[in-house]
Amino acid sequence: MRAPSELPRGIAAIEFDSSQISAAVLRLAAGIARDLPAEPVVLIGVLKGALFFTADLARALPTETDARIDFIAVSSYGNATRSSGEVRLLKDTSESVEGKNVVIVEDIIDNGLTLRYLQELLGHRKPASLRSCVLLDKPYRRQVDVKVDYIGLTAPDTFIVGYGLDYQEKYRNLPYLARLHDRVVEEGGVVAPEASTVLSDGHRRE
């Protein structure tokens, strides 16, 4: 466990380190390979959050797998930590999904609206099969019923950043999944990460 003083500003604790992430990714890749042994598969990563996850998942598949990679980008309206449920398509896939075995690769499922939107969008395009793979799940936050075929890790009820996930576009580059300081994320409002800093002596500067 890293001391708070060694963590970047605004980060309270590491929830899953890179070895825990790798183990989860390997497990997920094994599940996908088991279900689609000899068929071509298209991993559709949901930008930007699933960028690293998609890359690592693709490389964890057996080398004999005929895997293709595509990306789609969506945004949900809302503030920095609460999505409003209104999903908007920012970038479509570059290849058609018709007749293909598609796996949607998403960073995190929270209320479920983003994944439901993507399943409906891609489901209408006649893929041979459509599965969903998420790295992090917050099952207790679900507002709509969504089928998820592969789930990596169950996330605590706190805002998670790192390994692609952001807070106002920050922290995506962290190699682990971490929790923000409570002061950074306040119910109904947003406090800048700079607002609370743990000093090297463990005291907090507000």
Residue from 20, 65, 76, 197 in contact with ligand IMP (CB under 6 A)? 76
Binding to Mg ion by residue 107, rule CB under 5 A? yes
φ and ψ at residue 3, rounded to 5 degrees:
-65, 145
Residue 164 is a binding residue for Mg ion (CB under 5 A): no
List phi, psi (to 5°) of 148: -120, 125
Using the rule CB under 6 A, is 114 a contact of ligand IMP? yes
Q: Is 119 helix (H, G, I), strand (E, B) or coil?
A: helix
Of the pair 122, 198, the CB lying nearest Mg ion is at 122
Q: How far is CA 28 from CA 86, 108, 174, in A?
A: 29, 14, 21
| Among 19-27, 54-62, 100-108, 195-203, the segment contacting ligand IMP (CB under 6 A) | 100-108
* Site membership for ligand IMP, residue 162 (CB under 6 A): no
Q: Pick the catalytic residue: 17, 110, 145, 149?
A: 110
Whether the Cβ atoms of residue 150 and residue 134 lie closer than 8 Å to each other = yes
| 164 and 171 Cβ atoms separated by less than 8 Å | no
Tally the residues of the chain: 206
CB of 176 to ligand IMP, least distance (A): 13
By CB under 6 A, residue 83 contacts ligand IMP:
yes
Active site residues: 110
